[in-house]
Amino acid sequence: MPSFDIVSKPDMPSINNAIDGVTREISTRYDFKGSKSKVEIIEEMIIVIADDDLKRKQVEELINVHFTRKKVSVSFLNYGKAEVASGNTIRQQIEIKNGISREDCQKIIKQIKNTKSKVQVQIQGDEIRVSGKKRDDLQSSIAIIKEKFCNLPLQFINFRD
């Protein structure tokens, strides 16, 4: 029986390369000279430390640009609230989303069921498995999901006949 999985997994090596690029650019840009601004990645978190709100916004923009260059979706990032840190700096935590949330899974399943196509859908942790008798039904499900959920960073893997 043909099937495929819907997942949302970021490419961590590409994310590490993007953050390295941001760090290099911060160290060479003139407007960051003498600044305490820096970016660190710790497991599933990116930590931005900046002198003021303007520099924090510039670092955010750099992160978005470098993610786009590395072909990593910016929608993997969940920006936290900026808070005052020690040494007159501002700290912001950016969470890297991994997996599909339960609510999004249910929305995707509801959308697939509304199409009345003959496919079965199962939630497996933070993944969704879609299976059906015809390959065309699965491909139409992929097209619908891509159209309706373009704001989510979804990948379609393990397509089997």
Per-residue model confidence as pLDDT tens digits over 50-79: 988 888 899 999 999 999 999 998 988 989
Averaged pLDDT of the chain: 88
Q: What is the pLDDT of residue 64?
A: 93
State whether 19 and 89 are in the same domain: yes
- At residue 119, the 3 state secondary structure works out as strand
Q: What is the pLDDT of residue 126?
A: 84
Q: What is the pLDDT of residue 111?
A: 87
pLDDT at 20 over 90: yes
State whether 31 and 84 are in the same domain: yes
Counted domains in the chain: 2
State whether 86 and 143 are in the same domain: no
Please report which residue ranges of 42-157 form alpha helices under DSSP H.
Answer: 53-69, 102-114, 135-148
Q: What is the pLDDT of residue 152?
A: 84
Q: How many angstroms separate the CA atoms of 153 and 121, rounded?
A: 19
Q: What is the pLDDT of residue 136?
A: 85
CATH of the domain at 44: 3.30.70.990
State whether 87 and 133 are in the same domain: no
pLDDT band at 156 (very low <50, low <70, confident <90, very high): confident
pLDDT at 146 over 90: no
Among 100, 132, 99, CA closest to 117 = 132
State whether 155 and 105 are in the same domain: yes
Q: Domain residues for 113?
A: 3-8+100-160
